[in-house]
C-alpha cells in the first residue's frame, strides 16, 4: 500500500485541511494500491497563497539559475526512473517496458529540454524605440490527466518554471502517486519554497477552487472537452489565461497509392498505444472503398497480435484500461458500434481470456464499415477500438477527416510525398504524421476546434506562460 497523507505546499509537507481520502486502484487487478488526501478549497487557497508569495523572487531569479533547477529535477527523476515506470504502469496500465520509455522517459527528457530552451530563449528584444520584454504570466494552476500523468505534468510545470511562473499542481486522482515522487525530487533539488505546490483531490472541489481562485493568473488543463468547457466558464469570471488540450478523434487517411500494409499496421499500433488511452490516437482509419477488404484483413491480423495481460509482465503488449469506469465506458462504445451496424472484425465487448481477475482489460477491437456521422465515428472512445471508414476519392477523405468537432491530430499516407503533404495541409488538426513521421518533442502540440487552444512542447510551450510588455524608450 502506498499511503500519502500530506500535501506539498510552501516548500513543506503539510497536513490537509480535511480528513477525506481517495483510494487509488491498480489497473492490472483492480485492487487498492494506496490512497491520497482529498483536498479542499482551503488547501488550494494555501497553495495559491504560497505560490503568490514566491512569485516575485522566483521571476527575478536569473534564467540560468532557473534552468539549473530544471536540470536538477530531470536528474532527480532519472535516478528514480525505475520506480516511476513501475508506479505509472500500475496506475495507468501501460506495459512496463513501454512505461519505462514513455511514462518515465519523456518527463525526464522534457525537464532537461526546458533547461536548455530557457538558456537559449530571447526574453527581450529591441523593436524600434521599444524594448519588448517577455515576463511570466504569474501563478499557474496546472490540472493534469491520468493517461500520461507525469508527462503531462512535465509539459506544464517545466515550461512554467522556466518562464518564471510559480505553480499549483492538481494531478488526476486516478494516477496521483507519480506526482508525489516529483514533489520529493523538487524538494531534494532545493527549489525555493512556494515555487511548486501539490494538492490532490477531485475536480469538482479542488479543481473548481483552483480555476476560480482570483490569485491564479493562468490555468493549463489537459483532459476531456466536457471538463474544458466547464473550466472555461469558471475561469471567465476572473478573465484568466487558458491553455486547453482536450479530446480528439484523429483520422489516418490512407490514400490509394500508399503502402497499404505499412500504413494499416502503423495506424493500428498508434490506435492501441497505451490501450487507446491517448488523445492523439488514430482511431479512424480512412481507406478507399476499393481497398477496404484488404485493409480490414490486415487490421484484424495486426490486432490479433496484441497480447493482452498484466502491465508488469514483460510479454504484455496491450495492458488494461485505467479504471472500472473507463472499462465500462469503452465496452459501452463497442456495444454501440455493433448496434449501429458496424462490422466487428476483431475483439468485442467480452472480457479477454487469461488476464488477471479484477483488472480493467478489454480486447483489441477493430470495426469495419463504420458510417460517417455514427457515434463510433464521431465520439472519443479512449480505448483500443479502431474504426475503418471508407471514402470515394481524395476530396471525400478530407471531408470525412475534418467532419468531427475535434482537430487534435491525424495522419496521411501516400507514396507521393508532395501529395501527402498537400492533403495534410487541408486537415484541420494541430499535428499530422506524414508517412509515419516520428514524434518531435520540440514541435508544437495542441489542437483546433474543440480539441482546445494553446500549444505545449518546445519553445511554443514556454511562450504560453509568458506575457508581452513594451517599454517605450525615448531616444
**Active site members:** 245, 279
| DSSP codes joined into one string, 338-386 | HHTT-EEEE--SSPPTT--TT------EEEESPPTTSHHHHS---SSEE
Using DSSP, state whether 409 is helix, strand or coil. strand
Bridge partner list, 24: 34
Helix axes of 81-92 and 177-189: crossing angle, nearest 10 degrees: 160
Buried residues in 258-292 as b, exposed as e (16+ CB within 10 A): bebeebbbbbbbbbbbbbbbbbbbbbbbbbbeebb
DSSP 226: H
C-alpha distances out from residue 302 to 273, 362, 384, Å: 13, 16, 12
Cα–Cα distance for residue pair 380/76, rounded to 1 Å: 36
Neighbour-count burial of 254, counting CB atoms closer than 10 A to its CB (0-12 exposed, 13-18 middle, 19+ buried)? buried
d(Cα 261, Cα 248) in Å, to the nearest integer? 25
**Cα gap 182→292, rounded to integer Å:** 47
- Strand-pairing partners, residue 166, are 139
Amino acid at each position: 500500500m502506498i499511503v500519502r497523507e500530506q500535501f506539498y505546499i510552501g516548500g513543506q509537507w503539510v497536513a490537509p485541511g480535511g480528513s477525506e481520502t481517495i483510494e487509488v486502484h491498480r489497473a492490472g487487478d483492480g485492487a487498492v494500491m494506496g490512497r491520497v488526501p482529498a483536498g479542499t478549497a482551503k488547501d488550494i487557497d494555501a497553495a495559491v497563497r504560497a505560490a503568490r508569495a514566491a512569485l516575485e523572487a522566483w521571476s527575478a531569479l536569473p534564467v540560468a539559475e532557473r534552468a539549473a533547477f530544471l536540470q536538477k529535477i530531470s536528474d532527480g527523476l532519472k535516478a528514480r526512473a525505475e520506480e516511476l515506470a513501475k508506479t505509472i504502469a500500475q496506475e495507468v496500465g501501460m506495459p512496463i517496458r513501454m512505461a519505462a520509455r514513455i511514462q518515465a522517459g519523456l518527463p525526464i527528457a522534457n525537464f532537461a529540454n526546458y533547461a536548455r530552451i530557457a538558456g537559449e530563449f530571447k526574453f527581450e528584444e529591441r523593436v524600434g524605440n521599444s524594448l519588448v520584454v517577455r515576463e511570466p504570466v504569474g501563478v499557474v494552476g496546472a490540472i493534469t490527466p491520468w493517461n500520461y500523468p507525469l508527462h503531462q505534468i512535465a509539459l506544464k510545470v517545466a515550461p512554467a518554471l522556466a518562464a518564471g511562473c510559480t505553480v499549483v499542481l492538481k494531478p488526476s486522482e486516478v494516477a496521483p502517486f507519480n506526482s508525489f515522487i516529483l514533489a520529493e525530487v523538487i524538494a531534494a533539488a532545493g527549489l525555493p519554497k512556494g515555487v511548486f505546490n501539490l494538492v490532490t483531490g477531485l475536480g469538482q472541489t479542488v479543481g473548481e477552487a483552483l480555476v476560480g481562485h482570483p490569485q491564479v493568473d493562468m490555468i493549463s488543463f489537459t483532459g476531456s472537452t466536457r471538463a474544458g468547457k466547464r473550466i472555461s466558464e469558471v475561469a471567465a469570471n476572473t478573465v484568466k489565461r487558458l491553455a486547453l488540450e482536450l479530446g480528439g478523434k484523429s483520422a489516418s487517411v490512407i490514400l490509394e497509392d500508399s503502402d497499404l500494409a505499412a500504413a494499416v499496421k502503423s495506424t493500428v499500433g498508434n490506435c492501441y498505444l497505451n490501450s487507446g488511452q491517448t488523445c492523439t490516437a488514430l482511431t479512424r482509419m480512412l481507406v478507399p472503398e476499393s481497398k477496404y477488404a484488404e485493409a480490414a484483413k490486415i487490421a484484424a491480423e495486426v490486432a490479433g497480435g496484441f497480447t493482452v495481460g498484466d502491465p508488469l509482465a514483460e510479454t504484455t503488449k496491450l495492458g488494461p484500461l485505467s479504471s472500472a469506469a473507463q472499462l465500462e465506458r469503452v465496452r459501452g462504445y463497442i456495444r454501440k458500434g455493433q448496434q449501429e451496424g458496424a462490422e466487428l472484425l476483431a475483439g468485442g465487448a467480452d472480457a479477454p481470456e487469461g488476464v488477471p481477475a479484477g483488472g480493467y482489460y478489454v480486447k483489441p477491437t477493430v470495426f469495419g464499415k463504420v458510417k460517417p456521422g455514427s457515434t463510433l465515428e464521431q465520439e472519443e472512445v479512449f480505448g483500443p477500438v479502431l474504426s475503418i471508414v471508407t471514402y470515394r476519392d481524395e476530396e471525400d477523405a478530407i471531408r470525412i477527416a475534418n467532419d468531427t468537432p475535434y482537430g487534435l491530430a491525424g495522419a496521411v499516407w501516400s507514396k507521393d510525398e508532395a501529395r501527402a503533404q498537400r492533403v495534410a495541409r487541408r486537415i484541420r488538426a494541430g499535428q499530422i504524421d506524414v508517412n509515419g513521421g516520428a514524434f518531435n518533442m520540440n514541435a508544437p502540440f495542441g489542437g483546433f476546434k474543440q480539441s482546445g487552444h494553446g500549444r505545449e512542447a518546445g519553445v511554443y510551450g514556454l511562450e504560453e506562460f509568458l506575457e508581452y510588455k513594451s517599454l517605450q524608450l525615448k531616444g
